[in-house]
């Protein structure tokens, strides 16, 4: 979060000379996002000439080195793509493999998969809201500075995050790069007794999550709305984690297997991450705001009530309000985790049997940042012949650039330092994960 100190504040006076002045705003390395990227904005007078979200984290070639590996290795290999959302990679990969192999995982094993995903949403959302995004709204350089003025807030955030860690730790074997997920289920499932202490922590966490929603809703919100195409999973009876059809607010309604007929990845010169677009329609928006807008009625009563109590309604088109939505989803994840634990009965087997066979499988689950698509083609021995992975950040890149373009146009009178600050804040609305996207920040604003 550093405006270029060499840049002079923009003159508030506009005349013909000022209108032809070239200005660039740039942030070489964006802080508080995962991975290496930057932002470049070029302005000529009152016109935005160029906006680039530059991603220079090197490509990581995961899809290539999955080829030739056994189907069962995919969850552990792909989990290494991201230290923040390994569960998402494990869940998308196991569901894609099970689709290829004709296996369904039901009952308590299915519920445990939702439970571990609740843990990851809590970990990821709480980290983003308290440590990465809230300092933007309150004018602090980082969470350490914010903690000096808001010690109880940060303390609560840490307690809440730890509760998410505890879920992932117990179900996944450890909190980072968990090792207990497999195609067909788990290597080991917890006893009812082992889950009991989690329930106690979650009861406390639910109170903190309610405070988190009120805190997020109290933050000063930039006035900024756009007409987005929101895309998320939709399930008939659940707020989506692992299953559902891909739907949008503009008529998309497809099975996961039809993803590649509707979405296409494009290479752009300034990014080592592919930009994903909807065919014939272009940019779209995935993540908490999309899920909330498309699945509001599937939230649990306490989460819906929390949204109502702070005046947040679907559809919400202000991306800055994603910090409120993340808080509501955190509350939902805590509440859903409690429901699952209360209804839990230990299954007889930790996994269903899986036999290799030739086929192609498709999986799409809701990572904290949005839909994560996996497709694998297997041979008769279960060896991966071909893999495709589309992470949420590469799907949001075009929308992030579009937001920045419109935001700059709306707030041209701000000086460089303030504008740069707010553009970084706008990027963090998407909680971008560059490491995932290159499987994907720096800011440059140039004015003429």
Partner 1 sequence: MLVIGVGNEFRRDDGVGLVVARRIAQECPDVTVIEQSGEGAALMEAWQSDETVYLIDAVSSGAAPGTIHRFSAHEQEIPAQFFSYSTHAFSVAEAIEVARVLNHLPPRLVVYGVEGQDFGSGLGLSATVEQAAHRLTARILEEINSPNDRPPNHRS
**Which residues are near partner 1 by CB under 8 A?**
29-36, 83-84, 127, 131-132, 142-144, 147-148, 151, 154-155, 158, 161-162, 165, 174-177, 433, 435
| Closer of 314 and 434 to partner 1 (Cβ) | 434
Task: Report yes or no: 208 and 158 within 8 Å, Cβ to Cβ.
Answer: no
- Whichever of 30 and 232 has its CB closer to partner 1, that residue is 30
Closest contact distance (angstroms) between CB of 162 and partner 1 is 5
Q: 245: which strand partners? A: 234
For partner 1, the closer CB: 175 or 335: 175
Query: Which CB sits closer to partner 1, 155 or 279?
Result: 155
How far apart CA 243 and CA 245 sit, in angstroms, is 7
- Alpha-carbon distance 11 to 33, whole Å? 31
**Token digits for 104?**
């369904």
CB closer to partner 1 out of 244 and 370:
370
Q: How far is the CB of 420 from partner 1 (least distance, A)?
A: 17
- Least gap, CB of 173 to partner 1 (angstroms): 12
CB of residue 16 to partner 1, shortest distance in Å:
42
In the complex, the smallest distance separating the C-beta of residue 140 from partner 1, rounded to whole angstroms, is 12
The Cα–Cα gap between 385 and 401 comes to 34
Query: Tokens for 378?
Result: 């297997």
Question: Which CB, 334 or 408, lies closer to partner 1?
Answer: 334
Please report how close the Cβ of residue 122 comes to partner 1 at its closest, in angstroms: 11
Spatial contact of 177 and 80, defined as CB atoms under 8 Å apart: yes
- Closest contact distance (angstroms) between CB of 169 and partner 1 is 8
Nearer to partner 1, 215 or 224 (CB): 215
Query: What does the alpha-carbon distance between residue 344 and residue 445 come to, in Å, rounded to a whole number?
Result: 53
Cβ atoms within 10 Å of 138's Cβ, excluding its own = 14
Question: CA-to-CA distance for 285 and 46, rounded, in angstroms?
Answer: 27
Per-residue tokens: 384: 């991966």
Shorter beta-carbon distance to partner 1: residue 140 or 411: 140
- Which CB sits closer to partner 1, 76 or 335? 76
Nearest CA to 294 out of 371, 223, 211, 393 is that of 371
Give DSSP secondary structure letters for 239-299.
--SS--EEEETTS-EE-GGGHHHHEEEE--TTBSSPEEEETTTB--B-SHHHHHHHHGGGS
Burial class (CB in 10 A: 0-12, 13-18, 19+), 245: middle
Structure tokens at 359: 């086929």
Q: Which is nearer to partner 1, 144 or 264 (CB)?
A: 144
Q: Least distance (Å) from partner 1 to the CB of residue 85? A: 10
Chain CA centroid to CA 51, Å = 22
Q: Least distance to partner 1 from the beta carbon of 291, Å?
A: 21
To 10 degrees, the CA torsion angle through 305, 309, 310, 316? 50
Q: In the bound complex, what is the minimum distance in angstroms from residue 448's beta carbon to partner 1?
A: 31
User: What one-character DSSP code corresponds to residue 33?
Assistant: S
Alpha helices in 67-106 (DSSP H): 74-79, 86-101
């Amino acid at each position: 979060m550093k405006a270029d100190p060499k840049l002079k504040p923009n003159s508030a006076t506009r005349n013909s000379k000022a209108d032809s002045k070239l200005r660039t705003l740039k942030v070489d390395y964006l802080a508080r996002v995962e991975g290496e990227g930057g932002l470049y904005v070029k302005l000529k007078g009152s016109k935005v000439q160029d906006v680039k979200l530059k991603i220079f984290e090197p490509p990581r070639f995961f899809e290539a080195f999955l080829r030739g590996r056994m189907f069962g290795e995919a969850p552990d290999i792909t989990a290494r793509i991201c230290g923040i959302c390994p569960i998402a990679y494990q869940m998308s990969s196991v569901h894609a493999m099970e689709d290829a192999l004709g296996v369904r995982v039901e009952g308590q094993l299915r519920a445990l998969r939702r439970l571990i995903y609740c843990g990851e949403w809590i970990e990821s959302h709480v980290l983003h809201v308290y440590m990465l995004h809230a300092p933007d709204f309150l004018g602090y350089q980082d969470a350490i500075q914010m903690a000096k003025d808001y010690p109880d807030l940060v303390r609560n955030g840490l307690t809440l995050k730890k509760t998410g860690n505890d879920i992932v730790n117990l179900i996944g074997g450890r909190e980072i790069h968990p090792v207990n997920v497999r195609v067909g289920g788990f290597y080991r499932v917890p006893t009812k007794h082992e889950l009991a202490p989690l329930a106690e922590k979650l009861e406390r966490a639910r109170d903190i999550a309610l405070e988190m929603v009120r805190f997020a809703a109290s933050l000063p919100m930039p006035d900024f709305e756009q007409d987005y195409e929101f895309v998320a999973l939709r399930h008939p009876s659940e707020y989506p984690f692992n299953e559902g059809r891909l739907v949008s607010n503009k008529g998309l309604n497809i099975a996961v297997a039809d993803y590649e007929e509707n979405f296409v990845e494009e290479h752009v010169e300034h990014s080592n991450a592919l930009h994903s677009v909807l065919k014939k329609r272009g940019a779209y928006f995935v993540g908490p705001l999309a899920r909330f807008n498309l699945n509001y009625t599937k939230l649990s009563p306490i989460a819906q009530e929390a949204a109502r109590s702070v005046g947040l309604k679907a559809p919400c088109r202000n991306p800055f309000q994603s910090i409120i939505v993340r808080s509501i989803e955190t509350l939902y994840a805590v509440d859903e985790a409690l429901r699952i634990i209360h209804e839990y009965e230990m299954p007889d087997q930790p996994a269903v049997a899986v036999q290799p066979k030739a086929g192609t499988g498709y999986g799409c689950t809701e990572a904290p940042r949005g839909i994560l698509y996996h497709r694998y083609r297997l041979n008769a021995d279960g060896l991966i012949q071909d893999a495709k992975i589309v992470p949420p950040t590469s799907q949001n890149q075009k929308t992030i650039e579009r937001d920045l373009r419109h935001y700059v146009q709306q707030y041209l009178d701000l000086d460089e330092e303030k504008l740069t600050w707010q553009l970084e804040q706008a990027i963090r609305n998407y909680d971008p994960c560059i490491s995932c996207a290159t499987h994907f920040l720096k800011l440059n604003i140039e004015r003429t």
